[in-house]
Amino acid sequence: MAAVLRAAPPTDGFAEIDDLGPRVNLVADRPLYSVPLKPEIDDSLEVASGDEVSADALFDRVHVDKTRLAANVWTALRSKDQVSLSEVVASFPLEQGLAELVTYLSVAADTEDAVIDDTSRQTIGWTDEDGNRRQATLPLVIFTRSGSSREATASGGAP
């Protein structure tokens, strides 16, 4: 190879060098250690009225039945080869709000028969226990029957 290049050297440039000299980083050029500022945190709690505030809400845990949600998905798949998460929620409205929606995402992540498409978005709405309308925008989630998830991936994830 070297003999060929020596006989006919390239005319358009063989190699390029970014800098004309080496770049040197000296230790003395770096700033010395400085003690980080310690923030002053006010941890007192001010209550508008003289009533005691119950901390029970901090310890309430919501249990979402993952098996029930998976059954909802497979029930929706009885009539179709593919079903999006928004279609599942339309057929089986959210009872526990955002916690249930996150559990649906967990069901999708745990099965090979689901596709989560980060390039497409879907908006899912529900009514909370106080009657307020809520909505969340998340990646498009498509549940498929066994074996058809590869087809959904190949087609770009469209239901």
Percent of the chain at pLDDT above 90?
30
Closest to 107 in 3D by CA, of 65, 139, 79: 65
Domain residue limits, the chain = 60-149
Give the CA radius of gyration of the chain.
29
If you ran DSSP here, which 8-state letter would residue 113 be given? Answer: T
Average pLDDT for the chain? 79
pTM here?
0.57
pLDDT at 115 over 60: yes
Do residues 52 and 122 lie in contact, with contact meaning Cβ atoms separated by under 8 Å? no
Percent helix, percent strand, percent coil in the chain, to nearest 5: 30, 20, 50
Cα–Cα distance measured from residue 39 to residue 43, given in angstroms and rounded to the nearest whole number: 12
Instruction: Assign 14 a pLDDT band (cuts: 50, 70, 90).
Output: low
**What digits encode the pLDDT tens for the residues 29-63?**
767 777 777 777 666 666 666 566 566 666 677 78
Cα–Cα distance measured from residue 122 to residue 137, given in angstroms and rounded to the nearest whole number: 6
pLDDT at 152 over 70: no
Mean pLDDT for 140-158 is 62
pLDDT at 127 over 50: yes
Q: Please indicate whether residue 12 or residue 158 has the higher confidence score (pLDDT).
A: 12
Listing DSSP states for 14-48 in one string gives: S---S-SS-----GGGSPPP-PPP----------S
Q: What is the token pair recorded at 30?
A: 């770096």
List of residues 6+ apart from 119 with CB closer than 8 A: 157
